[in-house]
Chain A
Amino acid sequence: MRSVLAIARKDLRLMFRDKGDVFFTFVFPVLLAMLFGFVFRGAATGGSRIAVALVVESDSRIAAGLAEDLAGDASLDVRRVTTREEATDGVRDGTFTAAIILPQSMQAGADRLFSGGSIPIEAIIDPVRRAEAGLIQGKLNELAFRQFPKLLADDAQSKRMFQSMREAIAASKDMGAAQKLAAGALIATAESFVKSMPGGDAGSKPAAGGAGAAWSPVQVRMQELPPRTGVPRSSFDVSVPQGMVWGIAGCVGAFAASVVTERSRGTLVRLRLAPITRAHLLAGKGLACFVTALLVELLLIVLAVTLVGTRVAQPGMLALACVLSAFAFAGLAMLIAGFCRTEAEANGAGRGALLLLALIGGGTIPLFFMPPILQTLSYASPFRWAVIAIEGPLWRDVAPAAQVTPLVVLAGLGFGGFAAGSRLGAFRDAR
């Protein structure tokens, strides 16, 4: 066991001291995952505009005005849908970043605006789109405020508002008769002032919250959907497994070549003379590859979680998938190592084969975007099984039963790789 650890530690050192290997195993995959993530982030939301579904339940003037302003907003891509259900489904399946609902109760809220009421607006957002949620909330407040001059310019509307105010004052138990009288006079003055205003001036924004700090004339109620399943919630859900594919490919390439490197630099002689068996050698090198692959996976997941807010649906299952895929690729590395008798073979044919497997296994085109032929072909790639196994608990949130096949395939690949590799040329003369 000590000799296995000695080999693993030595190979890890060699790996981390090789600038090329470190670049292709750690740096390049992270850059790729981030780049793809950011590039396709726009694509997922339909350009730089935020896609929102709009449901107008209220037939009030204010709702109509707000709908009109939302549609005209440059940062939003608004599509009218008829029901809340339709809008919610759209958010759930990623068509929309958010759904905005202008509810029936808007009219009542507007009427009571000067007597403690507020205008209700609802928004339903996807939890992974929190970044955009803040923007939408701000936008709704701003556009709602812009409706106020229109409200006041509307005679019928302002009449209702002042009427509501008078009723509120009349009903108040805190005010004395003199105060009520004074307030009534104030309202009358205000009403005549509003009537004298030129109509339709929507240029200026009235000061908000005039009657008290806690009161806001617009109440935007944001509601988060439960985390979605089955669809990538952000472009990073797709690009992180892609990064893993390339990182693992780099790592496998490095360790597959490490056996022939030992041969060409003569150190294999020392390993062969040591009182260890071929199994020790494979276990040591495999362990180093396993650890490196695991580090790549961990690095990408940690970066995704901390930098771009990726949320892991099933952490335990994800850990298992990472461990088994690292094992599978350690086995694959030993299989390729067994095939290669020269450094040229390892760096040419070995890395070439890996590149091909990574390509058809989802390294560039995400599996679910692939045309059917490629999808079928991808079954031959170990990378496909790793991507499936990792995506399942990362964002697909699949049932445990659905994880069984990819995990079993990965475990089989690992055992098969070690078993077959140990019988191949490069290891055969290592006892």
Chain B
Amino acid sequence: MLTLRDIRRSFGSTTAVDGLSLQVQAGEVFGLLGPNGAGKSTTIAIATGLLRPDAGSVDLLGLGSPADAEVRRHLGLAPQEIALYGELTARENLRFLADLYGLADARSRVEGLLAMVELDARADDRTEGFSGGMKRRLNLAAALVHGPRLVMLDEPTAGVDPQSRNRILELVRTLAAGGTTVLYTTHYMEEAAKLCDRVGIIDHGRMLDVGTVPELLARHGGTAGEASDLESAFLALTGRSLRE
């Protein structure tokens, strides 16, 4: 579904992604788990074709690079930074994207998504007045307007209340159940543990390990008796020094 091969990318003296490889299988929810500044967003930017890697290659759906518009059509992204038009209403934001993709059933798709993220009651309000959770939900809906086969959600629960977070997690499950492949980045262990079929732990732009949560626990869960959860595995892999 998505293959990254040995990608590298530096910004000046900072190496954001350092020879990272990754394969996401069709239909799975893949979690990219890493501390702040690990290189998750940079990896996503390269995977979506928004950023050119210094080295390495990207293949989407076996179709090739996302530089090709027809390949991009199958790709949805909910960026880490909320990307909405504040002066437009929720409905107008989604409708614009539906028209941008030239969808034939634009109206029904938009209405369906508004209901799905429970914003139908506020659909005609400008998004600048929305709460963090509402914006996040709409940001996610915006990634789904064109019904992509692969969606990348970059920290989709950052800065939201537990209710919105719960709704977002449910949504991801619904998506996956519907056959959509999901690449999900987060630094919340429990989210990754609850949601993801497989998890890749990333730090300093490198993939430290990839596997199912039980596999990761088995490999890095520490000695028996200690809290044997993903967090301890994560800390064992990424160390305890503070990040950005």
Chain A residues near B (Cβ < 8 Å): 2-3, 5-7, 9-10, 13-14, 17-18, 265-267, 269-277, 431
User: Which chain B positions have C-beta within 8 A of A10?
Assistant: 85, 88, 92, 96
Q: List A contacts of B69 (CB < 8 A).
A: 275-277, 431
Q: Known contacts being A10-B88, A17-B87, A266-B82, is A276 close to B50, with CB within 8 Å?
A: no
24 A–B pairs (Cβ distance < 8 Å), ordered by A: A3-B99, A3-B100, A9-B96, A10-B92, A10-B96, A13-B88, A14-B87, A14-B88, A18-B87, A265-B83, A267-B83, A267-B85, A269-B77, A269-B79, A270-B83, A271-B100, A273-B48, A273-B50, A273-B77, A274-B72, A275-B72, A275-B73, A276-B69, A431-B69
Q: Closest residue of chain A to B98, judged by CB?
A: A6
Residue of A nearest to B73 (CB): A275
Residues A275 and B101 in contact in the complex (CB < 8 Å), given A10-B96, A431-B67: yes
A266 touches B81 (CB 8 A): yes
B75, CB-defined interface residue at 8 Å? yes
B171 near A: Cβ within 8 Å?
no
- 1/0 per position for B37-75, CB-CB distance to A under 8 A? 000000000001110000000000000000101101101
B residues 128-157 in Cβ contact with A at 8 Å: 142
Residues in B whose Cβ lies below 8 Å from that of A3? 99-102
- Could you say which residues of chain A place their CB within 8 Å of the CB of B102? 2-3
Q: Which residues of B contact A14 (CB under 8 A)?
A: 85, 87-88
Contact with B100, one of A6, A13, A17, A277 (Cβ below 8 angstroms): A6
Smallest CB-CB separation from A6: which chain B residue?
A: B99
| B-chain residues with CB within 8 Å of residue A13 when the two chains form the complex | 87-88, 92
B-chain residues with CB within 8 Å of residue A275 when the two chains form the complex? 69-70, 72-73, 101
Tell me, in angstroms, the Cα distance from A13 to B92 when the chains sit together: 10
Instruction: Name the residue on A nearest B82 (C-beta).
Output: A266
* Interface residues in B94-138 (C-beta closer than 8 Å to A): 96-97, 99-102, 126
Q: Are B97 and A270 in contact (CB-based, < 8 A)? A: yes
Give the CA-CA distance A272 to B81 in the complex, in Å. 15
Nearest CB of A to B43, in Å: 15
In the complex, B86 has a CB within 8 A of chain A: yes
In the complex, the chain B residue whose C-beta lies closest to that of A274 is B100
Tell me whether B99 and A5 are in contact (CB under 8 A): yes
Nearest CB of chain A from residue B101's CB, rounded to whole Å: 6
Determine whether B193 belongs to the interface, using a CB cutoff of 8 Å to chain A.
Answer: no
Q: Which residues of A contact B100 (CB under 8 A)?
A: 3, 6-7, 270-271, 274, 276
Q: Which residues of B contact A (CB under 8 A)?
A: 48-50, 67, 69-70, 72-73, 75, 77, 79, 81-88, 92, 96-97, 99-102, 126, 142
A270:B99 contact, CB within 8 angstroms: no
Give me 14 other A-B pairs in contact (C-beta within 8 A), A17-B88, A273-B75, A275-B70 excluded: A3-B102, A9-B96, A10-B88, A10-B96, A265-B83, A266-B82, A266-B83, A267-B85, A269-B83, A271-B100, A273-B50, A273-B77, A274-B100, A275-B73
Residues from chain A with Cβ under 8 Å of B70 in the complex: 275
Tell me, in angstroms, the Cα distance from A17 to B142 when the chains sit together: 21
Cα A13 to Cα B85 in complex, Å, equals 10
Number of residue pairs A-B, CB distance < 8 angstroms: 69
Write out the residue numbers on chain B whose beta carbons fall within 8 Å of the beta carbon of A274: 72, 97, 100-101
Q: Is the interface of B mostly helix, strand, loop or mixed?
A: loop
User: Which residues of chain A are near B48, meaning CB under 8 Å?
Assistant: 273
Bound form: Cα–Cα A269–B70 in Å? 17
**In the assembled complex, how far is the CB of residue B141 from the closest CB belonging to chain A, in whole angstroms?**
12
Query: In the complex, which of the residues A7, A10, A18, A265 has the most CB atoms of chain B within 10 Å of its own CB atom?
Result: A10
- B212 → chain A closest CB, angstroms: 30
Chain B residue at minimum C-beta to C-beta distance from A18:
B87
A425 to chain B, nearest CB (A): 15
Measured CB to CB, the closest approach of chain B to A21, in angstroms, equals 11
Do A272 and B73 touch across chains, with their CB atoms under 8 A apart?
A: no
Residues on A with beta carbons closer than 8 Å to the beta carbon of B99: 2-3, 5-6, 9
Give A418 Cβ to nearest chain B Cβ, in Å. 20
Question: Which residues of the partner chain A approach B50 to less than 8 Å between Cβ atoms?
Answer: 269, 272-273
Nearest Cβ in chain A — how far from B32, in angstroms?
18
Nearest chain B residue, comparing its CB with the CB of A7: B100
Determine which residue in B77, B86, B96 has the highest number of CB atoms from chain A within 10 A of its CB, and name it: B96
The smallest beta-carbon distance between B119 and chain A, in angstroms, is 17
Once the chains are docked, how many angstroms separate the CA of A276 from the CA of B86? 23
Bound state CA distance, A246 and B67, in angstroms? 40
- What's the Cα separation between A7 and B101 when bound, in Å? 11
A45 to chain B, nearest CB (A): 46
B83 contacts which chain A residues (CB < 8 A)? 265-267, 269-270
Q: How far is the CB of B157 from chain A (nearest CB, A)?
A: 17
Q: Which residues of B contact A271 (CB under 8 A)?
A: 100
Q: In chain A, what residue has the closest Cβ to B83?
A: A266
Per the bound structure, the CA–CA distance linking A14 and B126 in Å amounts to 11
Q: How far is the CB of A125 from chain B (nearest CB, A)?
A: 51
Interfacial chain B residues near A272, Cβ < 8 Å: 50
Give Cα distance in the complex from A431 to B83, angstroms: 19
Which residues of chain A come closer than 8 Å to B84, judged between CB atoms?
A: 265, 267
Q: Which chain B positions have C-beta within 8 A of A265?
A: 83-86
Who on chain A is nearest to B103 by CB? Answer: A2
CA distance A85 to B101 in the complex (A): 69
A175 CB → nearest B CB, Å = 86
Q: What residues on A are CB-neighbors of B72 within 8 Å?
A: 273-275
A277 and B81 CA atoms in complex are apart in Å by: 23
**Nearest A residue (CB) for B89:** A13
Chain A residue contacts of B97, Cβ below 8 A: 270, 274
The 5 closest A-B pairs by CB, nearest first: A6-B99, A266-B83, A275-B69, A17-B87, A266-B81
With both beta carbons as reference points, the residue of chain A lying nearest to B52 in the complex is identified as A429
Residue in B70, B72, B79, B83 with the greatest tally of chain A CB atoms within 10 Å: B83
Complex Cα spacing A269 to B77, Å: 9
Chain B residues, CB < 8 A from A266: 79, 81-83
Kindly provide the distance from the CB of A279 to the nearest chain B CB, expressed in whole angstroms.
12
With a CB–CB cut-off of 8 A, which chain A residues contact B82? 266
Nearest B residue to A270, CB-CB: B83
Residues of A within 8 A of B86 (CB): 265
* Cβ of A187 to closest chain B Cβ, rounded Å: 86
